[in-house]
Amino acid sequence: MQTQRRKSVGAQTYRRVASEQEIARGQTLCVDVDGREILLCHTAQGFFAVDNLCTHASARLCEGKLKGHRILCPLHGAAFDVRDGSALTRPASIAVATYPVRVDDEGVALLIEVTEDGVFHR
């Protein structure tokens, strides 16, 4: 099945979603951005952000665990690479969406893009 890319209705923009101190290295934080759950992951290589729902059976990845650069789904143990979203193990085979992250004095911000149906993605 082919997924249609939704039409963008605005410029991409960074939105602050957390302070750096809220997420210790090795930890994650689930944030709600306009009704969409996004998981911030603080790895040894920095901050990354992925959709919070597993692409296999929609379990919430925030109830799993971050190990190194892998986020592990709590339901069937599927692993995703938080750096590029790629599915590393079955039963997941579809990548999880990722969002560019910027960390500065004002905190952790995500690059989001609003589409015509209100759902955003990078």
Partner 1 sequence: MSSKKRQQPGQARARGPSVSDTLISDRQSPPPPLLESHYEFLGDEDISFDRYTSEAFFQREMELMWPRTWQWACREEHVPDVGDTYVYDIGPYSIIVVRSADETIEAFLNSCTHRGTRLLAGEGSGYSPSFTCPFHGWSWKLDGSIRDIPARWDFPHVCHETHDLQRVSCERWGGFVFVNIDIDAKPLLDYLDVLPEHFKHFPLDRRRIKLHVQKILPANWKAAQEAFMEAYHNFETHDSPNGGNTQYDIFGKYVSRFIHNIVNYSPQSLDDYPGDKWRQPPMSEDDQLAFLGAYGLEYGSVPEGETARAIVADTLRGHLGETLGIDFSEVSESLMLDSIEYHLFPNMFFFPGINIPMVYRFRPNGDDVDSSIFDLLIMEPLAEGVDHPEPPDPVQLDVEQSYTEVEGISWLGPVYDEDTGNLALQTQGFKTSRKPGLTLGNYQEARIRRVHLTLDEFLSNADTKA
Touching partner 1, residues 21-40 (CB under 8 A): 26
10 sits near partner 1 (criterion: CB under 8 A) = no
Which of these segments, 15-23, 29-37, 58-66, 94-102, binds partner 1 (CB under 8 A)? 58-66
Of the candidates 78, 82, 96, 112, which one interacts with partner 1 according to CB under 8 A? 78
* DSSP state, residue 4: P
Looking at 9-17, 47-55, 72-80, 102-110, which segment touches partner 1 (CB under 8 A)?
Answer: 72-80
What is the C-alpha to C-alpha distance for residues 33 and 119, in angstroms, rounded to an integer?
A: 10
Task: Select 42 or 120, whichever has its Cβ closest to partner 1.
Answer: 42
CB 85 within 8 A of CB 122: no
Q: Out of 54, 72, 109, 110, which residue is the one contacting partner 1 (CB under 8 A)?
A: 72
Contact 41, 30 (CB under 8 A): no
CA torsion through residues 24, 27, 32, 38, sign = positive
